[in-house]
Amino acid sequence: MVCHLQSDQLVRQLHLVDLQKSWNDAQQYCRDEYIDLAIVNSSALIQEAQKRAGSTEAWIGLFKSDWKWSQTGPVQSSWFNMWSPGQPGTDECVTIFSDGSWFTRPCSATYFFFCYDAATNKHIQVKKSMTWSDAQSYCRQTYTDLSTINNLQDNTQAASVLSLNYQAWIGLYRNWMWSNSSTASNLPWGPGQPDDSLNCVTIVGSTGSFNSHNCDDQRPFLCSRGESVLCVSAQSGPPGLIGLFFLCRCQTFSLEVSEGSAEGRICRPERPHSARIHPAAGQRSHGPLYKKQSAITTVK
């Protein structure tokens, strides 16, 4: 008997842990004792989390990611960068300036941008003003992706084609993520939130809104206990419910259940790595230089 599970049949179970812990310690506690810090990514889950939090403000599994390249993913522990003094700032997307230095900018701002073309191994300056996400879409549709700048020669060449005091998007960014490594969107931030200098998030029980805080703050937290799954028979015949609930510890489901079984198969996902909350900022590292260099081209 195979259970075909629909998304509206899944209800994540949340539990408030009334201990004072930092975000990282709360995440580890939840992974040791439950499944993970609470992933609150739907209106139903926000309501459930709000109810569990009650009068408290509790950590949930939302944090600001480390830096990533659009094409190649998270930066390595030793990586090339050219942050201007005082950078990175609090914004989430990055430009290269005409002097070769890097700045964080609001992703909604519009600038020219650099695309990488894998077919020719060239970085191409596109003289169209776009937001970071629109520039990313343009590069992916027309070339390969927004440019990854991982050596001094490519950085110098890119800067050299920019007009004096101009800047352009490159593929470096960071964003809000859930503890299970999924990207977060449409978040119910409270008034004046998020504070871009703070990297970990709570839910306010009285309002259901999200607030950003210092990750070292000591707070109670919400853990995810798993999924309660309503299992529907796939066999032909009169429709009906199997009548039992199953606790499954997966993010996605396809459970084979023996007839009459009260437990089915318990499946456990591989746990994502602990969130690394931002290395020291403002340090310039030239990192390893790659032997194969890329050419720079301009497109108007």
User: What is the tens place of the pLDDT at every residue in 16-45?
Assistant: 999 999 999 999 999 999 999 999 999 999
User: Interior CA angle at 95 toward 92 and 98, to 5°?
Assistant: 160
Q: Is the pLDDT of residue 280 over 90?
A: no
Q: What region does 100 belong to: left with phi over 0, alpha with psi -120 to 50, or beta?
A: left
- Tokens representing residue 86 in the block: 């005082």
Q: Which residues pair with 286 in a beta bridge?
A: none
The whole-model pTM stands at 0.65
Q: Is the pLDDT of residue 104 over 60?
A: yes
CB atoms within 10 A of CB 70: 23
CATH of domain 14-116: 3.10.100.10
Burial 246-256 (b: 16+ CB within 10 A, else e): bebebeebebe
Q: Is the pLDDT of residue 85 over 70?
A: yes
Q: Is the pLDDT of residue 11 over 60?
A: no
Fold classification of 123-224 is: Mannose-Binding Protein A; Chain A (3.10.100)
Give the H or E element holding residue 245.
strand 241-248
Q: Return the beta strands (E) in 108-218 as ranges.
A: 111-117, 122-130, 145-146, 167-173, 176-178, 200-204, 210-213
Same fold for the pair 14-116 and 123-224? yes
* pLDDT tens readout for residues 238-264: 444 444 444 444 443 322 223 333 333
Give the H or E element holding residue 11.
strand 10-21
* pLDDT tens readout for residues 187-234: 999 999 998 789 999 999 999 999 999 999 999 999 998 654 444 444
DSSP notation for 176-193: EEETTSPBP-S--B-TT-
Q: Return the beta strands (E) in 205-240 as ranges.
A: 210-213, 219-232
Domains of the chain: which residue ranges? 14-116, 123-224
